[in-house]
């Protein structure tokens, strides 16, 4: 199994500074136990996983979840911004706005 992974240093423009997060874009959700294991393997405070949602109008929408080596995290700011960075700069460079649907923290709008 291959899982795409981006290592993003949030809050900085320089490598090896800021607050690091792993970001994994997925086409569909994997088992929670596997998500936790991927996060543990990354050995960072959080790993973000997102899946595009369908049927919503307006800006791009994604389901977003964060995991640490201990399990799912309720909210993580720097991994949210790192996920937006990956979408805006690698996956959807023409997008200006997006929305993250989360399990515990509602919808998080992000503007480029």
Which residue numbers are catalytic? 46
Burial 3-41 (b: 16+ CB within 10 A, else e): eeebebbbeeeeeeebbbbbbbbbeeebeeeebbebbee
CB-based contact 102:65 (threshold 8 Å):
yes
In angstroms, the CA 92 to CA 47 distance is 20
């Amino acid at each position: 199994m291959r899982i795409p992974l981006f290592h993003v240093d949030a809050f900085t423009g320089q490598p090896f500074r800021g607050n690091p997060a792993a970001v994994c874009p997925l086409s569909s959700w994997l088992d929670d136990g596997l998500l936790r294991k991927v996060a543990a393997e990354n050995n960072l405070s959080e790993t973000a996983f997102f899946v595009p949602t369908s049927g919503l109008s307006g800006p791009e929408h994604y389901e977003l979840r964060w995991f640490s080596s201990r399990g799912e995290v309720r909210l993580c700011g720097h991994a949210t911004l790192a996920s937006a960075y990956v979408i805006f700069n690698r996956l959807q460079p023409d997008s200006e706005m997006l929305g993250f649907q989360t399990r515990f923290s509602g919808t998080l709008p992000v503007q480029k």
